[in-house]
Every structure is written in structure tokens, then in C-alpha cells.
Amino acid sequence: DADVTQTPRNRITKTGKRIMLECSQTKGHDRMYWYRQDPGLGLQLIYYSFDVKDINKGEISDGYSVSRQAQAKFSLSLESAIPNQTALYFCATSNNIMAGELFFGEGSRLTVL
């Protein structure tokens, strides 16, 4: 089983719908992240959490919200999806206070029509 699991892996939805992407991890890491990947733009940080009571905005947080339900679970929500939120979304974890390795899930591909 994967250490970082994302659900769903693929989702097609319509403009205006609420969408939740879920991430769970078995690595025991405190730090969790949500990234968005668009072709040619690399990965952009949406939100990150350093522990259960800590939530921080990344560089592109507008239109997104997150919930850290437990150490192992970090969910990303799109309250009212729009077409330019069509992208590949990755959850990642780390156990480093200083910069170190990020462990990524396999991604959730979201299409907003």
C-alpha cells in the first residue's frame, strides 16, 4: 500500500460544484502539503500544515480551503469549482523541520467542465 494515498485519483465535475480531495498518510509525518501541477508551471503550493492545529496559505490559496482532521489526514476543498482549477493535485508529507525530502502521493486529476 502507498504511504501517501489520495482519493479520488480522477474526478470530473461541473462549474460551481463543491469538491473535496482527500489525503491520508501512514508515514507518521507531522507536515502535510497540497500542491497543484499545471503543464509548464511546475508545482505550486496551495496550503500546508505543520501539525494538526496549524494551517498556512501557500502561493495560490485563493479558491481553495483545507482541513487537517488528524495527523494522518489532510483534505483540500474547492467550494465552487471553476474551469481554471482543472489540474493535477498532489498531497505531500515530510518530517523535516528544516528543508528535506517531500513524499508525494500519486496525484488527483481534477477536470472542471
Residues of the shown chain interacting with another protein in the complex, contacts defined by CB under 8 A? 4, 31, 33, 40-45, 48, 50, 58-59, 90, 92, 94, 96-102, 104-107
User: CA 67, CA 13: separation in Å to the nearest integer?
Assistant: 21
Among candidates 23, 19, 109, 28, which has minimal Cα distance to 71?
28
Triad 52, 54, 57: Cα angle to 5°:
130
Measured from the CB atom, the residue of 74 and 90 that comes closer to another protein is 90
Least distance to another protein, CB of residue 17, Å: 25
Least distance to another protein, CB of residue 90, Å: 5
Least distance to another protein, CB of residue 24, Å: 14
